[in-house]
Structure 1
Amino acid sequence: MKRVTGSLIGVLLLMTGLNAFVLGKYGEFKFEKLHENIYVMHGPVTEPNKENEGFMNNPAVIEGKNGLIIVDPGGNYNIGEKVLSEIENVSKKPILAIFNTHKHGDHWFANKAIAEKYPKAVIYADEHMIAEAKAGEAEKWYNILDRMTGNLKGTKEFAYPTRALKMGDKIEVDSEIFVVRHPKTAHTDTDLLIEHVNSNTLFLGDNVMRGRFGAFDSTSSVFGNRKLLEEIMAEPEMKMYVPGHGQSGRRKETVEPYLAYLKVITEEIAKAYEDEVEPYEVADKVKARLEAYKAWDGIEHTLGRHLDKVYAEIEAMDE
């Protein structure tokens, strides 16, 4: 009897391991409870690669009385299925709505997995995000993520957001109240910051990252991003801040470090521009000021691009 029981336990343990969301050296991923009804799964703070299968963002769950609201479910269909499985470990309630914070596919391609199971779920995003995604941004990001991860094959159909939002919109879903903010241009030109009023939590999207730097594309503004974060730092503090990548926390832990980084690169490049010095010529000096960020993912290959971006913005403002 003991032998049978031991075998059964072994089988159960094996089944548990098979169902767990595990990504190689990055370990196991589950939703962490940040508030009585707020849960966040903090993804790896690395760029998309084969081992993380393209999972790198912070999917979030807000549990209402009758259903769930999701923020940024993840970067592809296959990851979406795993995230969905972990969501069901939090609650078996149906998913009523999804918020997408911006157009980059590593945050919203997993919409498809959720929409297949919950076709009535409303998917919210900035009005410009929906237009840009359909005009080619989704296709571009699919090709980027598939090349880097090899995990998107066969999942090229996109579940686009279905409800457009704009600055100041207030949405109520299952008695959970959300207010959205749309900066004209920050991390992209399609960003939404989502305030969950009930818990006093702010979902920042990629306007804040912690532990990694990410990228600024042609629609981004480093100066706009800095201005946005300065405004957030000047406001009454909220209880919790959830960045697009990296650990959630209080404002000093999340917003302040990324803002400090943006201040360093904008100040140094503004001075370089004034002195008629190229960005690469001050890169070592800038890096010396960023000693506290040396462990952040991507600093070696990202810093130079960020400096060039800042320089280009200053040139454009000076025209």
Structure 2
Amino acid sequence: MSKKFEDHFLATRRRFLRNVGVAAGLSVVPLSWSSRVFAEEEMVVEGPRMPDIPATKITDNVYVIVSPWGFPTEENQGMMSNVTFAITEKGVVIIDSGASLQIGRMAIRQIRKFTDKPVVAIFNTHYHGDHWLGNHAFVEENPDVPIYAHERTASAIRSNQGDFWKSLMERSTGDAIAGTVVTPPNEVVGHEDELDFGDMTMRVHFYGTAHTPSDISIEIVEKRIVHVGDIAMNNRIAFMDDGSFLGTFKAFDKLEEAVPDAYWIPAHGFPAHDLIEHNRSLFEGIYEAAEKAVEEMASPEDAKAYALEDERVKHYAPVVDGFDENIGKYASLAYLEAEAAAF
């Protein structure tokens, strides 16, 4: 390639990227995360800045940036999962980093309203992308920050789940997360592992497949607070395609046994003392309806009908986001699990 042609190519490419960004409401910034064809010139299109969502104080030095309801859209820019942070003696600990580079940066802006301490640890509760794609922003700030997850979560993100969730979130948000780079966990934790952050201890709970095969819950020991990830949600029904109703009931039992009278922080919805109680009631209504259908050798459609007749399900249906669109799928999943358990 001649020098003249190379200069023309680079100038044309810059104008193209800039025009694409302006047309889409995006910004164009230097690429810092992948190898460059022309190191000094390579550019990448970034999605728009995520509007600030102020953090809600849960107790002293523990905060949650509570996400709006719903699923990823162009309007919410993928902001559908809570970002929780604790300000400890040793620095800031993040539990679930959000669904994009932009959301992670927004979280950092909220953290800086309370402290200048560095982020010293991130926990990813499982491999669904709305809980870890924000890792990019924190590693951008500190390349050496440890990111903790269950070994199966780390493995899944490094393999198919990483690119799958990045692509899914890009499509769902109209490329609002553009510029986000898959940034997997780099440290593995397991059941009863404890990390000391001075005045706060983070204890890991893992009880097998619940929402996914590798959900971890993070107990802030001194506060009697437990972040449960997506094992339980507030006014939203947990995605169960990768999970287990029976495994979820087991996780509920074990968590309540391990941390009686805990304050539960979900990754979707507001924290509450009765979070697990309400989730258990709804899930039992759906699963027991499926068990009834299996016992009667009825169909998955009958399982849905039985669930809709259950008083517990009737109670929660009006307040659970996405219930009408998803109850058929959840009844079918419960039916398949109940059928397998019966044999």
The partner residue of 1:44 within 62, 68, 78 is 68
- Write the distance in 2 (CA, Å) between the matches of 1:288 and 1:230: 26
Determine if the alignment matches structure 1 residue 243 to structure 2 residue 266. Answer: yes
Q: CA deviation at 1:317?
A: 2.6
Q: CA deviation at 1:175?
A: 4.2
Determine if the alignment matches structure 1 residue 152 to structure 2 residue 167. Answer: no
Q: CA deviation at 1:30?
A: 1.1
Determine if the alignment matches structure 1 residue 258 to structure 2 residue 279. Answer: yes
- Write the distance in 2 (CA, Å) between the matches of 1:67 and 1:282: 49
The aligned amino acid for 2:319 is A
Report which of the two structures shows the higher radius of gyration computed on alpha carbons. 2
The partner residue of 2:211 within 167, 183, 187 is 187
- Write the distance in 2 (CA, Å) between the matches of 1:281 and 1:189: 28
Aligned to 2:86: 62
Q: CA deviation at 1:239?
A: 4.2
TM-score by length of structure 2 reads 0.81
- SS of 2:227's equivalent in the other structure is strand
Checking the alignment, whether the CA contact within 8 Å between 1:215 and 1:302 is kept in structure 2 is no
- Write the distance in 2 (CA, Å) between the matches of 1:288 and 1:88: 49
Determine if the alignment matches structure 1 residue 165 to structure 2 residue 189. Answer: yes
TM-score by length of structure 1 reads 0.86
Gaps of 5+ in 1: 1-19, 23-27
The partner residue of 2:135 within 111, 131, 155 is 111
Checking the alignment, whether the CA contact within 8 Å between 2:148 and 2:186 is kept in structure 1 is yes
The partner residue of 1:92 within 116, 126, 148 is 116
The partner residue of 1:221 within 244, 267, 277 is 244
Determine if the alignment matches structure 1 residue 33 to structure 2 residue 57. Answer: yes
Q: CA deviation at 1:283?
A: 2.1
The partner residue of 1:230 within 247, 250, 253 is 253
- Write the distance in 2 (CA, Å) between the matches of 1:32 and 1:76: 20
Give the number of the structure with larger relative contact order, counting CA–CA contacts within 8 Å between residues 6 or more apart. Answer: 1
Q: CA deviation at 1:279?
A: 1.9
The partner residue of 1:129 within 153, 159, 179 is 153
- SS of 1:142's equivalent in the other structure is helix
- Write the distance in 2 (CA, Å) between the matches of 1:61 and 1:236: 20
Q: CA deviation at 1:316?
A: 2.4
Aligned to 1:17: none
The aligned amino acid for 2:91 is G
The partner residue of 1:76 within 87, 100, 116 is 100
- SS of 2:328's equivalent in the other structure is helix
- Write the distance in 1 (CA, Å) between the matches of 2:265 and 2:189: 20
What are the superposed Cα offsets for residues 116-146 of structure 1, whole Å, 9 maximum, x if unpaired?
A: 1122211110111101111211111112211
- Write the distance in 1 (CA, Å) between the matches of 2:260 and 2:338: 31
Q: CA deviation at 1:232?
A: 3.1
Q: CA deviation at 1:115?
A: 0.8
- Write the distance in 2 (CA, Å) between the matches of 1:101 and 1:176: 18
Q: CA deviation at 1:51?
A: 1.1
The partner residue of 1:211 within 215, 228, 235 is 235
When the two chains are superposed, the root-mean-square deviation of aligned CA atoms in Å is 1.7
Q: CA deviation at 1:315?
A: 2.5
Aligned to 2:8: none
The aligned amino acid for 2:289 is E
Determine if the alignment matches structure 1 residue 120 to structure 2 residue 144. Answer: yes
How has the CA–CA distance of structure 1 residues 244 and 92 changed in structure 2, closer, same or farther, with 3 Å as cutoff? same
Aligned to 1:291: 314
Aligned to 2:289: 268
- Write the distance in 2 (CA, Å) between the matches of 1:104 and 1:21: 20
- How many positions carry a matched residue from both structures? 291
- Write the distance in 2 (CA, Å) between the matches of 1:32 and 1:191: 24
Aligned to 2:324: 300
